[in-house]
């Protein structure tokens, strides 16, 4: 999770089931969530 060139954290998603393959939509959703989490962390850190 990167915001303004600062690494706020990492989200790892993994499946041990060979039949589960992540597609572009899955990656777009993960990116959306990561951006919002990074924004929230940045807001909390900068409000102190």
Nearest Cα to Cα of residue 10 among 28, 29, 33:
33
pLDDT at 24: 95
Count of C-beta atoms within a 10 Å radius of residue 10: 8
Confidence of residue 2 (pLDDT cuts 50, 70, 90): confident
Predicted confidence (pLDDT) at residue 19 exceeds the cutoff of 90: yes
- According to DSSP, the residues that pair with 7 across neighbouring strands are 2
Q: Is the pTM of this model over 0.85?
A: no
pLDDT at 9: 85
Structure tokens at 33: 């969530």
Share of the chain above pLDDT 70, in %: 100
Domain ranges of the chain: 2-27+34-46
Nearest Cα to Cα of residue 2 among 43, 44, 40, 38:
38
pLDDT at 23: 93
């Amino acid at each position: 999770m990167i915001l303004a060139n600062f690494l706020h954290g990492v989200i790892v998603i993994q499946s041990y089931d060979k039949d589960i393959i992540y597609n572009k939509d899955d990656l777009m959703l993960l990116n959306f969530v990561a951006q919002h989490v990074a924004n929230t962390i940045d807001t909390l850190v900068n409000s102190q």
